[in-house]
Structure 1
């Protein structure tokens, strides 16, 4: 008789019926598996995991301050794909900054303050790359309403599209924060069916830190977390709360309903591998293929620069920082709009691409802005990543590199593999080769699924069908446990997934 049990996979619990003679310690079901961490990787030979920096688009910046109401600085607030309207939408905030010296030689600045009215704009795009400013006709500017300005009560400083929400009147969630580092802090919650017209939550404020002095630092509400089954927010959790560590750190708070919130707990902080001036400013997070993908803003306080790195977690609490290179590179010289700072949003997955939008600036300190003069600017850029392409397993150019997975059970009848033919200057496309052998849990080759049986894969494809002498049906092996043994050269391996033929 079948026995029912819970099998832990990362942070989630997968339930399945399994025969006693066919139990796998790890059951991946039909979930896609990335190679971003070591959870399923047992061994690598002449291979390693490599972070793939996001590629900036050639037409960056995609939005530049060029309208009279846009000043000299555009900061991207949110980008999402509106499924109802089938269009990309962007909220961004224009501003004007000026640095100057007073008559006695002191540095001074003119900049927006928290007490100023909120100015925000809407941009639209069919493809996420080419953007237009619609004439909304909602706000008068210099005697005309022909602009893309939003009414002040239409813009939410903290905002997300909630696809988990069943009530269409609450499809969008927005929050407004009050308080400072010398007072207490509150957050009020608002609901909207269309991202423009808002209704306050009857339980406001939903977050109130009184009587504790101080506020959260820069904060991102990630929305619904499908792994931990809660709403979550990530914030800078120390410096703005004036904690004893006196360094910017990343915290996480959770809520079952956006109304009742836990106290933030620190989940990520600089370590001994970081330069001493390293701090973490904020961390946008998404859940992707069963992994938490975080992009902490690395703040180097000595030279006042920001760039994102990639971190990964299976449970949303313990993050691995195996890749210390910038995920999006800053510009190479001061004349580039993003030479000093890359302030990124969370990655946006759409079809076969992953877009990471960011505010780029060639200054952060007003001393730098003073030196740049009219060349000081902030504009909006985007960098793209291929599907599943945050991290790849890469190997040798000639001869086979190898990767063996841990044993696991699976659901589905076919194995699909996402790979890229890795071409060097003198390498031809047909020199890429990938073969996949199947093993028992104790590394014995499965008859008919060995190296010699495996049909070679030689081209780039996000969903290669893996086969052995023309055979691709693995239904008799479903449930497992099995191991995958990859042999490859001149290739980047991104992910694999077991599926049914109709998927």
Structure 2
């Protein structure tokens, strides 16, 4: 199976009258804790063993000076409407501050950095938490980055001898299982206050590969802009990153902590190791119309910490917004200044190709695909769309009778899984041949094309025609 998302044109023969745009997530709900200011990248959503969505978060007591970090938990049947979860008794906390407390209050302000499911672990260690222990920070300017494990997302224990960053660093980061190399990937800052994205990998949570830089700010960014961190997910053979861009702060001669804004862009990878930036415009920021409506005013800071796939294919995005600036003291934050906003993104809706001139049809054609059977599927929103199918011979690409645009029954409207129909029949008859798909669409956006095939380039296609050889999996 393959899925083509349109972050670039690498797998396209043609793109006419189609501009690249980010998808537009819709606001569906929010969670605001009654006690804590969740003002930083301090909330993580994950599916639990009970099938529910669990929200693990931390914050500082509203209205108080930052003297201790408190940790809480909430739960939801639908991933949108959350209620505090009674975790204190299950966590073994003596004299808890509140019923949904997850860990004892930490005077040093240690932080949850990521929470993920480990599909290879025994049930007792099914869930992993990357934790940043700040107990040594004042003494020797280091953080201890540890791994905790749990069976139920309530009771957590430290996995002894596991330190995912040898120097130690703080959130924001990404962590996911990578099926390409059967390892877990951690995208983290290489050191405290070092605002670039480094990568380390582990097969077992004991051994970690040496840190390598995989993404940083570049010449297309705003002056002095920094990548604050990059959560990321694996998605149908792709890896989607959410680089957080911190910019627009005063140009003082010091590390930038006060002033400025934070917004989220997108990055992508085919193997989870080598990353490229997408559009240099906000995918999500605190000026999102629905967030402004919920919060009352445009915010300053935005942190996208979790993205969860739903049963219908859509993705729920958990976005922490802060009306104040990065360095605003906790005592100055009011009840409505911080919030976990929940947005829904359509399936494959990260990026798309949109009709540029609405008076002219857009044209998008794939490169060659060795077809293994079944039908092709498009995800689009259009006034009208048709698809033509071509076959790659050894020397050229030729039309297939009965599979032209005129032979295709047009599609219209919002079609997450449009399967074209032609007068010539279905595509199953072309299993084992090399096909090219050309889509024409009016006044709309194309998000993806997918099917049971192997994308190839021209020489790979020629070898397949002559020798029947499919290219080996290269991990890119």
Q: TM-score range by the shorter chain?
A: 0.7 to 0.9
* 1:50–1:263 distance in 2 versus 1, CA, 3 Å: same
Map residues 164-175 of structure 1 onto 2, 5 A cutoff.
164-175=119-130
* Residue 78, structure 1, aligned to residue 44, structure 2: yes
Deviation readout 1:306-336 (Å, 9 max, x if unpaired): 1110111223233222311111121377974
Equivalent residues in 2 for 1:391-430 (5 A)? 391-395=351-355, 396-421=357-382
CA drift at 1:80: 1.2
Match of 1:64 in 2: 32
Residue in structure 1 matched with residue 389 of structure 2 by the alignment = 438
Name the CA shift for 1:290/1:263 in 2 (closer, same or farther; >3 Å): same
Q: Which moved more, 1:292-301 or 1:35-44?
A: 35-44
* Distance change >3 Å, CA 376–CA 448, structure 1 → 2: closer
Structure 1 position 119 matched with structure 2 position 75: no
Q: Deviations over 1:402-444 (max 9, x none)?
A: 01111121323111211123xxxxxxxxxx1111111123332
Say yes or no: does 1:378 pair with 2:338.
yes
| Partner SS state of residue 475, structure 1 | helix
Secondary structure in 1 matching 2:439: strand
- Give, in angstroms, the shift of residue 367 of structure 1: 5.8
Give the Cα–Cα distance (whole angstroms) in 2 for the partners of residues 196 and 307 of structure 1: 31
CA separation of 1:264 and 1:216: change in aligned 2, threshold 3 A: farther
Q: What CA distance in whole angstroms lies between the structure 2 residues aligned with 1:128 and 1:307? A: 23
How many residue pairs end up in the alignment?
428
**SS of corresponding position for 1:169:** helix
In the aligned structure 2, how far is the partner of 1:330 from the partner of 1:131? Answer: 21
Contact 1:172 1:192 (C-alpha < 8 Å) held by counterparts: yes
Please identify, of 125-134 and 336-345, the stretch whose mean Cα deviation from structure 2 is larger. Answer: 336-345
Instruction: Please give the per-residue CA displacement for 1:222-241, whole angstroms capped at 9, x wherever unaligned.
Output: 13111232111111235635
2:422 aligns with: 468
Match of 1:390 among 322, 337, 350: 350
C-alpha separation in 2, matches of 1:184 and 1:141: 27
Q: Deviations over 1:442-499 (max 9, x none)?
A: 332112211221121112121112111273x212212331111111112211112225
Aligned pairs for 1:33-432 (under 5 A) are: 33-57=4-28, 59=29, 62-66=30-34, 69-70=35-36, 76-82=42-48, 84-96=49-61, 110-112=65-67, 116=68, 118-136=69-87, 138=89, 147-152=99-104, 157-178=112-133, 179-180=136-137, 182-202=140-160, 204-207=161-164, 209=166, 215-237=168-190, 240=193, 248-300=195-247, 301-302=249-250, 303-331=259-287, 336=296, 339-352=299-312, 353-366=314-327, 374=334, 377-395=337-355, 396-421=357-382, 432=383
Partner of 1:424: none
Q: Is the 8 A contact 2:111 2:171 kept in 1?
A: no
Distance 1:385-1:443 versus aligned 2 partners, 3 A rule: same
Whole-angstrom CA distance in 1 between matches of 2:156 and 2:417: 42
CA distance in 2, matches of 1:337, 1:273: 29
The alignment's C-alpha RMSD in Å is 3.2
Alignment partners' CA distance in 1, 2:333 and 2:131? 33
> Aligned partners of 1:416, 1:257: CA distance in 2, in Å?
37
- For structure 1, which runs of at least 5 residues remain unmatched after alignment? 1-29, 99-108, 242-247, 422-431
Counterparts of 1:231 and 1:338 in 2: how far apart (Å)?
36
Q: 1-side partners of 2:41 and 2:173: how far apart?
A: 15
Distance 1:329 1:223, change over 3 A: closer
* 8 Å Cα contact 1:419/1:493 also seen in 2: yes
Question: For the structure 1 residues 186 and 132, does the alpha-carbon distance in structure 2 shift closer, same or farther, using more than 3 Å as the test?
Answer: closer
Q: 1:89 to 1:470 in 2, by over 3 A?
A: farther
Q: 1:184 and 1:122, CA in 2 relative to 1: closer, same or farther beyond 3 A?
A: closer
What secondary structure is seen at the aligned counterpart in 2 of 1:451? coil
Q: How far off is 1:144 after superposition?
A: 8.4
Q: Which SS does the other structure have where 2:70 is aligned?
A: coil
Q: Classify 1:365/1:393 alpha carbon distance in 2 versus 1 (closer, same or farther; 3 Å).
A: closer
Q: For the Cα contact (< 8 Å) 2:319–2:342, is it kept in 1?
A: yes
Closer/same/farther in 2, CA of residues 119 and 369 from structure 1, 3 Å limit: closer
Q: Equivalents in 1 of 2:306, 2:444: separation in Å?
A: 28
- Structure 1 CA distance for aligned equivalents of residues 137 and 208 of structure 2: 19
Q: Deviations over 1:336-364 (max 9, x none)?
A: 47601011113211123211102110112
So what's the TM-score if we normalise by structure 1? 0.76
Quote the Cα distance in structure 2 between the aligned partners of 1:404 and 1:175.
Answer: 43
Q: 1:217 to 1:373 in 2, by over 3 A?
A: closer
The CA deviation at 1:217 is 4.1
Structure 1 residue 166 displacement after superposition: 4.4
